[in-house]
A and B are shown apart, each in its own frame.
Chain A
Amino acid sequence: MPLQSLDVINQSAKTAVPPQARHTLEVAKLIDVSRCIGCKACQSACMEWNDLRDEVGTMDGAYTNPPDLSDQTWTLMRFNEAEVNGTLNWLILKDGCLHCADPGCLKACPAPGAIVQYSNGIVDFHQENCIGCGYCTAGCPFHIPRLSKRDSKAYKCTLCSDRVGVGLEPACIKSCPTQALSFGSKEDMLFQAEHRLDDLRDRGFVNAAVYDPKGVGGTHVVYVLPHGDRPEAYGLPKDPQVGPVLRVWRSGLARAAGVATMFAVLVAGILHYMRHGPLEVPPDEKETKP
């Protein structure tokens, strides 16, 4: 698969439009939950490749370990015991960044270039530009980015942009023994996902579905969910949205209008002064002795 160098098409808090003449392939990671056995090979591969070592924690009542995503854990297998239609299911979800086409984190970020989106769809954090405000954590509809306790910078899955940039698959993909994870063009991944649904429906998963939520413009990490009608059972939001509040809050237009208004206040002041001059005590006001 041809993977060109990484062209930035969108950056947090940047007004200039980056070059977009080249057309690169949009990539996607497909997580086929029906093939996943929760072995955590992806998790260890992520730790190995990215040099991450979380603390040796404790057993907190589930197989999910470490207990949550963190600056040291960019992908996490979450184990969820759920009764669906009267039968016990052990729903195992590989949690991590979904690389939204319309990323809430990037929208929320006030630090120029701390979050970038490449033309292949990867949303990447550049910690050297990150100021640690945590707005990305508020902007993300999937609750993914985490601020490091060490350096207060935000971290999350990079979809191994360093590997993808040189034509390799992400580390987790390489490590997956059952090919529950695959990587390729988004088109291919969606095709493959649709194909899997036939088999799942044949096995009685009549609601099997592909999770590629439109509320965030689609994602570059796509799931095949056997119980596609109930993504929340796996721990995924049913209908994730960038949302009106975030849109207004980080709206470029509103901000530009704000800045314009501020300048207008300044200009109005100057004009007023030019027109009317200072307000002085009239000379006829006599000084009177007390």
Chain B
Amino acid sequence: MTNHWVDIKNADVVMVMGGNPAEAHPCGFKWVIEAKVKNRARLIVVDPRFTRTAAVADQFAQLRPGTDIAFLGGVINYLLSHDAIQHEYVKAYTNAPFLLREDYGFADGLFSGWDEAKRTYDKTSWGYELDKDGYAKVDPTLQDPRCVYQAMKRHYARYTPELVSSVTGVPRDGFLEICKTIATTAAPERTMTSLYALGWTQHSVGSQNIRAMACIQLLLGNMGMPGGGVNALRGHSNIQGLTDLGVMSQLLPGYLGCPTEKDPDLKAYLEKRTPKALRPGQMNYWQNYPKFMVSLLKATFGAEARKENDFRYDWLPKNDKTYDILAAFELMHQGKVSGYFCQGFNPLAAVPDKGKLTEALSKLRYLVTIDPLVTETSTFWKNHGEFHDVDSSKIGTEVFRLPSTCFAEEDGSLVNSGRWLQWHWKAADPPGEAKSDADIIAELFVKVRELYRKEGGTFPDPILGLSWPYKIPRAPSPEELAREFNGWALADLPDPKDKTKTLAKEGEQLATFAHLQDDGTTAAGCWIFTGCWTQNGNQMARRDPADPSGLGNTPGWAWSWPANRRILYNRASADPSGKPWDPNRRFVFWNGKRWTGADVPDYRPDAAPEEGLSPFIMNAEGVGKLFALGGMAEGPFPEHYEPFETPLGKNPFSPRSISNPAARLYPGDREKLGTAKEFPFVATTYRLTEHFHYWTKHTRIAAVLQPEAFVEIGEELAKLRGIRSGDRVVVRSRRGQIKVKAMVTKRIRPLKVEGQELHTVGLPIHWGFEGLTKPGYLVNTLTPFVGDANIQTPEFKAFLVDVQKADVRQA
């Protein structure tokens, strides 16, 4: 979230698209209701189904799965062609006035730089025109045809309401009504918040779905505003903390990049990642990259990391390619992985194409699962009848199950979607032999280190040199880990402004990441968390609900990264002169001497407005990017591409490029894509309120509340296939088939798409062959092994199936 949960209550319009918070985030959804009740906010829901969120919406549109960018592009076109944008904001705070390189272009669904032979983009042309000093040229009048504003206008002029309606299936009038409501928030005193979740990410164009909304929010001047923002509603607790700590193959903690083979030494690594300001005088906060990285290396390798040995940068693994989950299972499927650690993860159910996953897991020598529950993954080798029909005698994988604690059985912090680190306390002892994840990993590490120490082996240095400063090496306490993430001074840090003072004395906890150094005098395990455990103690355990501004900003409640800042880009909530855009949302403003207000300013606190420092200090150009430059794999503007399994077999927007040209698709999986001829219906998967992923089917109450797997189909489709509610049906995709009960509903209607009637099929995912619910098939039996171009999130939300009555097929 750029903003946070409570802030939703400040919105005038709540746009829910790509998510279903009433069902997936019922507790957070209270703030949407609060906005409706207290702020008279209007709730817009755009979804392939009429969900429980839609049940309380003011406006609802049923959308064809996988056409979000078509819809949002249409909104952009509406805003630009109706001039419903916040002009001053767009001019001052976005890259709309920036001139693009002459060789940038877009034609037939492809951006400039496309190499048809290699099927990749050369992104060089996706850049600004620079002046002789290396700064980007701008046209404040926005009239230059090569400025971002004009390029954007041209790009989205194709997204006419008629084409949008024909592609998405949303009736033209309904679409325009929604545009109208959205456009009202272009006024400086009105804001719209955007709430999304996996409904946007789990597409082959997932990242661009979100980009499209970011563009809309920038055009409307809603970024940095209370009640605005682009807000990802995270799924797992603690998935936000997981990304923050970089538990992903391409990341280090604090969103620092994982070194690759192309970064032979620290200098090369840092040079590539430390950007230069693209406008004169810009702050460009990532220029501090070396401080964050060196402090991380100091935390990782302790005294071993010294300036003369590049802080042991050479001990870090270097990626040759990304090892995301699709890549990992592809390699496993090729037989190239011998062991797999599966911690708090149930990939057999959570990764697409269960058939492929079963084959992949069967090729392992060993599998370790660390989980509080009996996951399907941990019993993948057992035959579970029709629900999981495997021959155990043919599977050689040795499975180790290590029972772990759940959140209520341990102290620690969880990071919520709003970036709040909230400390929590253990409520109960874990059952049996269960241990916390940290204890399990630490015990394994200590044993492995011992083996390396005794036996040597290939490259033992990083293992033996790893800093392991915990009182009980086999069981690091959550407090110790939290202090380490925050970081401490390794020497007295003199205050550059007043040499008589120090920022921190040797051994003291650091107060802010602004104190981090690149000379090895500080250590911090995750720079964005610096400030969570200071000399004043555990800031995450604070529980002061005081809200002095009345805007739901509670600086004394827990601790929010970065720097306890609650709304990112909050400088943009004031106009260039430092006055709040909206007198009722006095959030961060210039008081004549410094920036002040309800929140910690996302800005240099003493930067007078006259200085002209732009508000988006994390960007090299200092402004929000309508044009993403080379930041995205498939293009600088979000463009509609069809899902990999498209019911149309064409892309009405651009005939040459049907699906995302940069998306992840392995050759073997391309052959397992179905066509509309055989699989005429569009399916989408989702979650229900009653269950949390594949966990809560293990609890009696949740099992009672939603006991049995089903597929949701519209009344018209049911009629077409002669299905009645409660019938057993077979849902087939090119990858496999499942048997479930049908729920016939009015809430999914046939859509008129490109002149044809198209049916949507809804597949809730929660059931499996373990747990207290009625046993069911894992729905990922059906889903395609296709990933987003930027972060490789699988396309769970749009694929093709056929549905037939079970007994008809059997006969």
Chain A interface residues toward B at CB < 8 A: 34-41, 43-44, 47-48, 53-63, 65-66, 81, 83, 88-92, 177-180, 196, 199, 202-203
Contact = CB atoms under 8 A, between A and B. Distances in A.
10 contacts: A37-B22, A37-B689, A39-B23, A40-B689, A56-B707, A63-B706, A65-B707, A177-B30, A178-B33, A179-B33
A47 B702 CA distance: 11
A59 B710 contact: yes
A88 B701 CA distance: 30
B332 to A, nearest CB: 34
Given A55-B704, A57-B704, A57-B708, A202 B33 contact: no
Interface in B34-56: 36-37, 40, 50, 52-56
Given A56-B772, A81-B745, A199-B37, 6 more contacts: A35-B33, A37-B23, A37-B53, A57-B708, A59-B707, A177-B27
A91 B55 CA distance: 7
Nearest to B773: A56
Nearest to B689: A39
Contacts of A196: 37
Contacts of B703: 56
B26 interface: yes
Given A40-B689, A59-B726, A61-B744, A35 B710 contact: no
Nearest to A202: B40
A180 B747 CA distance: 23
A91 B27 CA distance: 20
B310 interface: no
Nearest to A53: B700
Contacts of A61: 725-726, 743-744
B798 interface: no
Contacts of A41: 26
Given A39-B23, A56-B774, A62 B53 contact: no
B690 interface: yes
B56 A65 contact: no
Given A65-B704, A177-B27, A59 B56 contact: no
A34 B56 contact: yes
Contact of B56 (A37, A63, A81, A83): A37
Contact of A40 (B30, B58, B690): B690
A117 B709 CA distance: 42
Contacts of A58: 707-708, 741, 774
A224 to B, nearest CB: 11
B29 interface: yes
B741 to A, nearest CB: 5
Contacts of A177: 26-27, 29-30
Contact of B701 (A53, A62, A178): A53
A57 B690 contact: no
A62 B743 contact: yes
B746 interface: yes
B40 A37 contact: no
B55 A89 contact: yes
A234 to B, nearest CB: 12
Nearest to B42: A203
B701 A199 contact: no
Contacts, number: 111
Contacts of A63: 688, 706
B777 to A, nearest CB: 14
A150 B275 CA distance: 72
Contacts of B331: none
B796 to A, nearest CB: 21
A43 B705 CA distance: 8
Nearest to B60: A88
Contact of B747 (A38, A56, A88): A88
Interface centre among B690, B700, B706, B772 (most CB of A within 10 A): B690
A65 B40 CA distance: 33
Contacts of A43: 705
Nearest to A38: B52
B704 A37 contact: no
A179 B27 CA distance: 10
Contacts of B747: 81, 88, 90
Contacts of B55: 37-38, 89-92
Interface string B695-727: 000001111111111100000000000000110
A55 B772 CA distance: 11
Contacts of A90: 50, 52, 54-55, 747
Contacts of B688: 63
Q: Which 4 A-B pairs have the closest CB atoms?
A: A61-B725, A37-B22, A59-B708, A39-B26
A40 B54 contact: no
Contacts of B29: 37, 177-178
B746 A81 contact: yes
A61 B199 CA distance: 24
A65 B774 CA distance: 13
Contacts of B708: 57-59
Contacts of A178: 26, 29-30, 33
A53 B705 CA distance: 10
B52 A66 contact: no
A177 B28 CA distance: 8
Interface in B553-573: none
A48 B705 CA distance: 13
Nearest to B767: A59
B237 to A, nearest CB: 15
A54 B56 CA distance: 29
A107 to B, nearest CB: 33
B704 A59 contact: no
A48 B50 CA distance: 30
B702 A44 contact: yes
Contacts of B705: 40, 43-44, 65
Interface centre among A47, A61, A89, A199 (most CB of B within 10 A): A61
Contacts of A47: 701, 704
Given A59-B710, A81-B747, A39 B52 contact: yes
A59 B745 CA distance: 13
Contacts of A65: 690, 704-707
B704 A54 contact: yes
Contacts of B23: 37, 39
Contacts of A34: 56
Interface string B325-353: 00000000000000000000000000000
